[in-house]
Amino acid sequence: MTYEDGKLKVVGTRPIRPDGVDKVTGRANFGADHSMPGMLWGRILRSPHAHARITGIDVSKAEALPGVKAVVTGADMAESSGSADAGESAINLRDLSRNVLAHDKVLYDGHAIAAIAATSDKIAREALKLIDVGYEVLPHVMDVDEAMKPDAPLLHDDMFTEGIEPTPETSSNIAKKMVIGFGDVDDGFAKADVIIERTLKTAPVHQGYIEPHACVATISEDGQAVVWCSSQGQFVIRDLCSQLLGMEAADVRVIPAEIGGGFGGKTTVYLEPVALMLSQKSSRPVKMTMTRGEVFRATGPTSASSMDVKIGATRDGRITAASAEFRFQAGAFPGSPVGAACMASFAPYDLENVSITGYDVVTNGPKVAAYRAPGAPQGAYAVETVVDELAEALNMDPVDFRALNGAREGTKAPYGATFKVVGNLECLEATKDHPHYKSNLGPDQGRGVASGFWFNIGGQSAATVAINPDGTVSVVEGNPDIGGSRASMAMMAAEVFGVAVEKVRPMIADTASIAHNDVTGGSRVTFATGMAVVQASEDAVEQLKKRAAKMWDVEVEDVVWQDGAAHTATKDAPLTLADIAAQAGRTGGPITGNASINARGAGPAFTTHICDVEVDRETGAVEILRYTAIQDAGKAIHPSFVEGQMQGGVAQGVGWALNEEYIYSTDGNMENPGFLDYRMPVASDLPMIDTVVIEVPNPSHPFGVRGVGEAPIVPPLAAVANAVYDAVGVRMTELPISPPRLLAAIDAYKAAAE
């Protein structure tokens, strides 16, 4: 059933989130806030080398230390191979097992080797120093282009490049090659009057969630385990733990703690399998947390990238051909988001001829994990910089040039599918009309624009709605609330029931209390889990109508549901939710509504950003003066949290563009594994971030929802770089645009001009 925009009473308002008071008073329990009687503390020994063969591990001295109750190494992890279906993309269990605890080789600085559980954190840390590990240090390679060279040090002797027929004989660091696109780019380039070609690079950056990974695990002698942990999906934690440890899913109950930020980085396992093994060996609960240094060194950043982009256009501004090669760093094991980068980077454009080649390349860095629209920010940085340069070469307004070539309904996306109704042109139009775009700039100030796209995902969600005896409603769903989703679930249910949102209490169930749910990620929760909650609520309304019919002794067809009550023509007074609930026992028992779906029709999100900067020519410092993000949300269920996703994505994008990067020493050790020198934006670095929410409804969702969580991080890298160009005339083709780099570029530009 779809709901007319005009008649909505709850959806679109800004209620206080139901879990809010606990969060502002410190009651909310995050991963590390849970403890159990008799609990031990677990700590992990990590490799000091970027690449080495493990020749031996002697844990005897550590085991002998008083207070140490268990020690595990990679050998304890059941040899697991094949792949686990983690909902979104298959994860190679064999690689995951080797990433959780190294087996025969350590592949990056910080790679986990062994773990200790002891009666105190202090003893656990002391015991780590007593583990003797023999290393045969090997040469390492960090840079993605270096790693692709034939003579580069090889990480995996048994890796042969996929996507090349016949399969190559010699092993390589290139895990996979892929090509997407259509048409004939050579023909297209031949027709172009102007062609711009650029090489651009980005550094590894981390999701930067403020909560380090944390969990408590306990397993009883009959093999039944319980895990409390902060994650983006308790079901993926359950599935990966059970498969890595050869346990049955029903024996691994994962209870979701509140999650202190994830952005894609908490959709896999690091500590949970180790805590379970330590608990099994010690027969006691084990708490494990990571220090900030461990989070940086050993949990997935997103890929550094090396990209070539070439775009040609005719004098009148039509793009005739576009091609790109994306070389993405995967870290120690294959799995960079280069596929998504290939598919998303040109998506804002209506192209005839496009060819994109992607390489997934392993290097001696931590295994890459998803980071908000994985791959798209890197790809968009390259494409949107070249588009900006092309517009200038054709002396066209950058927004007009993007609108002329903009993707719209009927456009064939680079990955081949034809777009249904999308909001790209609406965003570009709103950009052109926005006062920000028409405002004046001062000396050494510049303005940049950039477009962004993300697919948004549907996937599996299950929801149960229970009508309580007093007519209040309990919504049970399976997605950790990372940005206010409890509020949107309660709002959507309240709209269907026609009751006040305070009458609906959402609860996030553990893996034993509800069927499988895909992760909170892929911008899917408000869309897919929202759809399940709406369908479950509608199912409950049908039950309520049947009960009302029974109470009134009328046909159910004569009962209508309106404003939280059943109405029928022959009765003056309606039967409210509370009236019906009170009689539930007599009319058939407790009233529930259920839905379990694989949500289809996730609507893609388009977005356009405007960024103004001022550059200090004497120090190379860049200040963000003003920022406006314009994005199609289909329908904003809770506008404050839609705006919050946009503002947060912009802040992460600005950090990525200006100051964030993994800095490695020559021996492959991370030099800045902390918030002091891994410089994320602080409050005084940013202005207010203005947001414009465009609503081009997605017909596949009852309220028209499109995912909003990931698209906002896609444009800022290019928007900032284009603004810096506009300010000081220097094209920065490598991120981050740190002050030393920008000052050197300004000097070079000045020298060349003289």
Partner 1 sequence: MEYQSPGTVEEAVSLLAGASGTSKVLAGGTDLLVQLRSGFVEPDLVVDLKRIDALTSITEDAGGFRIGAAVSCAELGEHAALSAAWPGIVEAARLIGSEQIQSRSSLGGNLCNASPAADTVPALIAARAVCSVVGPGGQRDIPVEDIVTAPGETSLQPGEIVVSLNLPARPSRSADAYLRFIPRTEMDIAVVGSGVSLTLSEDGTVSDAHVGLGAVAPTALLVSEAGQALVGTSCDDAALDAAAAAASAACDPIDDKRGTVEYRVRVAGVLTKRAAAIAYQRAGSR
Partner 2 sequence: MARVLLSGDLGRRFADGEAEIEVKGDSVRHVIAALEDLYPGIAEVLSDGRMAVAIDGTIHQDGLYEPVPADAEVIFMPAIGGG
Partner 3 sequence: MAKQHVNTTINGDPVEFLCEPDQTVLDVLRDVLGLTGSKEGCGTGDCGACSVIVDGRLSCGCLMLGAEAEGREITTVEGIAEGDKLHPVQQRILEEGALQCAFCTPGFVVAAKALIDQNPDPTETEARYWLAGNLCRCTGYDKIIRAVMNAAADVRGEAA
Q: Name the residues that contact partner 3, by CB under 8 A.
A: 14, 16-17, 20-21, 23-30, 32-33, 35, 122, 207-212, 258-263, 289, 291-292, 482-484, 638, 640-641, 643-645, 647-652, 674-676, 680-686, 688-689
Cβ-based nearer residue to partner 3, 107 or 116: 116
Report the C-alpha gap between 44 and 293 in whole angstroms: 12
Told to check if 453 binds partner 2 by CB under 8 A, we report no
Per-residue x/- track, 249-268, partner 2 (CB under 8 A): --------------xx--x-
Contact pick of 140, 524, 635, 706 for partner 2 (by CB under 8 A): 524
Size of the chain in residues? 754
Cβ-based nearer residue to partner 3, 400 or 685: 685
Work out the angle between the directed axes of helices 485-497 and 639-658 (0-180°, nearest 10).
160
Instruction: Indicate which of partner 1, partner 2, partner 3, none lies near residue 524 (CB less than 5 to 8 Å, by partner kind).
Output: partner 2
Cβ-based nearer residue to partner 2, 521 or 736: 521
Cβ-based nearer residue to partner 2, 520 or 738: 520
Told to check if 210 binds partner 2 by CB under 8 A, we report no
Cβ-based nearer residue to partner 2, 690 or 710: 710
Cα 631-632-633 angle, rounded to 5 deg: 110
The answer for residues whose C-beta is within 8 angstroms of residue 27's C-beta and 6 or more apart is: 21
Report the C-alpha gap between 290 and 273 in whole angstroms: 14
Told to check if 459 binds partner 2 by CB under 8 A, we report yes
Is it true that the peptide bond before 48 is cis, omega within 30 degrees of 0? no
Least distance in Å: CB of 579 to partner 3? 32
Buried/exposed code over 218-234 (b: 16+ C-beta within 10 A; e: otherwise):
bbeeeeebbbbbbbbbb
Contact between residue 393 and residue 197 where contact means Cβ atoms under 8 Å apart:
no
Report the C-alpha gap between 224 and 246 in whole angstroms: 13
Instruction: Indicate which of partner 3, partner 2, partner 1, none lies near residue 259 (CB less than 5 to 8 Å, by partner kind).
Output: partner 3
Told to check if 371 binds partner 2 by CB under 8 A, we report yes
Work out the angle between the directed axes of helices 739-753 and 716-728 (0-180°, nearest 10).
40
Least distance in Å: CB of 675 to partner 1? 8
Contact between residue 649 and residue 380 where contact means Cβ atoms under 8 Å apart:
no
Instruction: Indicate which of partner 3, partner 1, partner 2, none lies near residue 64 (CB less than 5 to 8 Å, by partner kind).
Output: none
Q: Copy the structure tokens of residue 639.
A: 């506008």
Report the C-alpha gap between 104 and 179 in whole angstroms: 33
Q: Within 10 A of 400 (CB to CB), how many other CB atoms are there? A: 15
Told to check if 311 binds partner 2 by CB under 8 A, we report no
Point out which residues bind partner 1 (CB under 8 A): 125, 293, 618-621, 658-659, 663, 671-672, 675-677, 679, 681-685, 738-740, 743-744
Told to check if 523 binds partner 2 by CB under 8 A, we report yes
The answer for residues whose C-beta is within 8 angstroms of residue 591's C-beta and 6 or more apart is: 466, 467, 540, 543, 544, 547, 580, 581, 584
CA distance readout (Å), 64 to 70, 318, 569: 10, 73, 81
Cβ-based nearer residue to partner 2, 566 or 651: 651
Instruction: Indicate which of partner 2, partner 3, partner 1, none lies near residue 14 (CB less than 5 to 8 Å, by partner kind).
Output: partner 3
Cβ-based nearer residue to partner 3, 15 or 183: 15
Contact pick of 4, 151, 165, 553 for partner 2 (by CB under 8 A): 165
Least distance in Å: CB of 75 to partner 3? 31
Told to check if 181 binds partner 2 by CB under 8 A, we report yes
| Residue linked to tokens 């549907």 | 458
